[in-house]
Amino acid sequence: KMNSKICFCTFFIVGKIYLAVIGQSVFGLEVYKELRKEGHTIVGVFTIPDKDGKADPLGAEAEKDGVNVFKFPRWRLKGKGIPEVVQVYKATGAELNVMPFCSQFIPMEVIDHPAHGSIIYHPSLLPRHRGASAINWTLIHGDKKGGFTVFWADDGLDTGPILLQRECDVEPDDTVNTIYKRFLFPEGVKGTVDAVRLIAAGNAPKIVQPEEGATYEGIQKKDNAKIDWNQSAQALHNWIRGNDKVPGAWAEVDGQKVTFYGSSLLDSGATAIGQPLEIPGASQPGLVTKAGLMLFGNDGKTLLVKNLQFKDGKMIAAARYFSSGSSASVELTEEEKAFGVWKSILTNVDAIEDSTDFFKSGAASMDVVRLVEEVKLRASGCQLQNEDVYMNTTFQDFIQMCVRKLRGEDDEEELVVDYVEKNINNMTIRMPHQLFINGEFVDAEGGKTYKTINPTDGTAICDVSLAQASDVDRAVAAAKEAFEEGEWGKINPRDRGRLLYKLADLMEEHQEELATIESMDSGAVYTLALKTHVGMSIQTFRYFAGWCDKIQGCTIPINQARPNRNLTFTKKEPIGVCAIVIPWNYPLMMLAWKTAACLAAGNTVVLKPAQVTPLTAVKFAELAARAGFPKGVINILPGSGALVGQRLSDHPDVRKLGFTGSTEIGKHIMKSCAVSNVKKVSLELGGKSPLIIFSDCDMDKAVRMGMSAVFFNKGENCIAAGRLFVEENIHDQYVKRVVEEVKKMKIGDPLDRSTDHGPQNHKAHLDKLVEYCQTGVREGATLVCGGKQVSRPGFFFEPTIFTDVQDHMFIAIEESFGPVMILSKFKSGDVDEVLRRANATEYGLASGVFTRDISKALYVSEKLNAGTVFVNTYNKTDVAAPFGGFKQSGFGKDLGKTC
């Protein structure tokens, strides 16, 4: 479920320089660290004075390294350098000044003093957006391209010659924060270090800035960030996102100043249900919806704002504007009351009370990062974001928010589920019935639905949303964003594993409900559903949760390693968006087998359950949301294979597709995946698994396990023994024994604990089984028992036994996928002949052999052409053992380390 990448690296040495680093912030810190790694000597770090007793990160790191640190409050007075400051600087002997995000005015005699001069980082493509608010104006103006410039410093006017520039696309919903984190910060650090490398090598250009295209709009301040509502939705969106976080775009709402954060443009013609909010000057009232605050431009188009902040610093989700003060307090345990890390950060506060405000007590944005990281260390189950601190600024609000997250209550409040409730199996089950896309249960396009049928009595269970092609596109887009931009791609593997463990725990808490839904929707006997359908699903998620932090690459010895100092290593990387199409025989277990491995590897998932058995998949989606999986990581789309499955096969943003189903459909999917974008494919397809029973077997076990091999899960089992070859000298005895056992089987309600055999999954499959058996009779096979629909409501079919089955017959060649035992004799002692007959099929999923002769067992196991061979047992799959087929039973593996 991962890509394997080979990286070839060459390490080389460039000239080294004595550097002075003049600047501040985490950006300055990262530049400083990278320059030291390059081997340059830092002769001095010049940063800003401590604030509230706290050193700037750049200065703090340099002090730990023993580098000389200077914290001048200013460098010049009345436009001229302060002599004693300039003298201290010159004494360091710097050959180059590197100024990453330097906010102080540096005199020209310092800038020009080093042999190599001075370079400075600026977050725009100069000459456009000169000045301190360059990122803001890039967004406010709606620029399609952004980037940064490293230029030769001038007198603080951003007009010096250009040394290096790098650009990036500005995404439609980029904010100051996202474009900074995605590109300007990481690439800016690399670019600044590359600039120093060019200077050290003597290759650094000096390109004079043109005046054409130059702009300078000035610093964005709170006073001039007020929103002018007489603009298009695009312009409003640009203004809000361009002022995001600092200084914050604001407007008067209900007589108070409200700041807007987290803007995104909505599709043209988007509509929503919500509560109107009057906004003075706006072309029409805003709309408080469950997704946020919808705003309207003067062109009638819309945008959505996620968060609002009030004058006192309190931030709320915009969706909660009308209910922000109504949430009840959580009653804390004594242990939870002791949880808190504020004291180590707010060192200037004597006592922290419930009403203590984080920011009013002197905390800054860097303290938010520190607080979030410390909480994660102390409480690994608390998935905290910087935004959570801004939205819970008082100690009481913050601690209660953390406790809600730890208890799993926070997500439960957010998740809106429209349940279908039924009192059944001595419990009340609550079933979601909508699509699950980007963390929300939503209706399909056009409100399309279909009825899922209870095979026990043929009645409708409920209406289920029927996904359309546009729903597939939305789900894939959500999965792609979650993978490329979201939290899922950033959390470390161990935290990913914790989420999988938490999901498994929730599934275990709801196992009786899941088993009841599975039994009702698929016809599985409840006790089997509880043990296998649900039980193995839970085991699968726990197994793969343990693999999350153990996926490793390796280093590879190569001939060119010396003397050129080349290093070659492999890196295991997630693939991206994985599409999963699962069958109806084990709805939850097939979901688990494929989904758990994808998630453990760091991929995101769009899953289509079988149209006839969607209910445990959408219930699973609810549990995943409550476990805390980020939005977009898991998406569930009930719908038809011809539409949803085909669109997933064709979709260019899907990077792998896993399918379990018929060989015919598998071939079609493989072709579509190849034509679309050569996406990876794993296929588990049809089977006709042979089971060979030799006369030296343990007869009791061979009868018991042979029954299980055929009739387990009503025969709706991909590895079911499709044909039994019984040595002729025990054949009649074996047939007599299995007929006796079949007659003991109780056919009935799958929720009845004494039932052995429930209904077939759906009407079309029942009809196929009837026709299958009629074909066997017409061809001359002996129908010993069964072969008919049971005379009762629902889709019940009698357990069936055929003997005298010849190799050319339809039932000897084709899979029934039902409770039909196909028995053929083979000559005593003729091992190679029965192996030839067993392998005379295009399928190769599973097989089995019963014998007390260990040599014979090993020989037969080696010669059988199948992905799994059972010896003196059957159906013993385990999550640690890889599973997959040979020939037209498909390729690729589920489960195990190598999946």
- For the chain, the C-alpha Rg in angstroms (whole number) is 34
Catalytic residue selected from 718, 727, 731, 899: 718
Distance (Å, whole) CA 615 – CA 420: 11
Helix (H) or strand (E) holding 226, with range, is none
The reply, when asked if residue 269 is annotated as ligand binding, is no
The reply, when asked if residue 818 is annotated as ligand binding, is no
* Residue 718 among the catalytic residues: yes
Residue 309 CA to its chain's centroid (Å): 30
The reply, when asked if residue 584 is annotated as ligand binding, is yes
The reply, when asked if residue 582 is annotated as ligand binding, is yes
The reply, when asked if residue 258 is annotated as ligand binding, is no
The reply, when asked if residue 296 is annotated as ligand binding, is no
The reply, when asked if residue 816 is annotated as ligand binding, is yes
The reply, when asked if residue 279 is annotated as ligand binding, is no
The reply, when asked if residue 610 is annotated as ligand binding, is yes
* 3 state SS of 801: strand
Measured over all CA atoms, what is the biggest interatomic distance in the chain, rounded to whole angstroms?
111
Phi, psi of 431 (to 5 degrees): -115, 120
Residues in Cβ contact with 338 at an 8 Å cutoff, skipping those fewer than 6 apart:
none
Distance (Å, whole) CA 16 – CA 35: 10
The reply, when asked if residue 644 is annotated as ligand binding, is yes
Catalytic residue selected from 387, 513, 684, 727: 684
The reply, when asked if residue 642 is annotated as ligand binding, is yes
* 3 state SS of 883: strand
The reply, when asked if residue 434 is annotated as ligand binding, is no
The reply, when asked if residue 686 is annotated as ligand binding, is no
**887 in the Ramachandran plot: left (φ > 0), alpha (ψ -120 to 50) or beta?**
left
Q: Give the torsion sign (CA, 472, 657, 818, 508).
A: negative
The reply, when asked if residue 643 is annotated as ligand binding, is yes
Contact 127, 137 (CB under 8 A): no
CB contact burial 41-70 (16+ within 10 A = b; e otherwise): ebbbbbbbeeeeebbbbbbebbeeeebebb
The reply, when asked if residue 611 is annotated as ligand binding, is yes
Question: What are the Cα distances from residue 607, in Å, to 409, 633, 787?
Answer: 26, 11, 35
Question: What are the Cα distances from residue 440, in Å, to 303, 432, 624, 625?
Answer: 19, 11, 11, 9
DSSP one-letter string for 131-178: STTHHHHHHHTT-SEEEEEEEE--SSSS-SPEEEEEEEEPPTT--HHH
The reply, when asked if residue 634 is annotated as ligand binding, is no
Catalytic residue selected from 40, 116, 122, 731: 122
The reply, when asked if residue 609 is annotated as ligand binding, is yes
| Of residues 735, 693, 730, 727, the one with CA closest to residue 829 | 727
The reply, when asked if residue 756 is annotated as ligand binding, is no
| Of residues 244, 264, 104, the one with CA closest to residue 172 | 264
* Residue 122 among the catalytic residues: yes
The reply, when asked if residue 158 is annotated as ligand binding, is yes
Contact 845, 691 (CB under 8 A): no
Distance (Å, whole) CA 798 – CA 759: 9
Q: Which residues are annotated as a binding site?
A: 104-106, 158, 582-584, 608-611, 641-646, 661-662, 768, 815-817
Q: Which residues are annotated as a binding site for NADP(+)?
A: 582-584, 608-611, 641-646, 661-662, 768, 815-817
Q: Which residues are annotated as a binding site for (6R)-10-formyltetrahydrofolate?
A: 104-106, 158
Which residues are catalytically annotated?
122, 684, 718
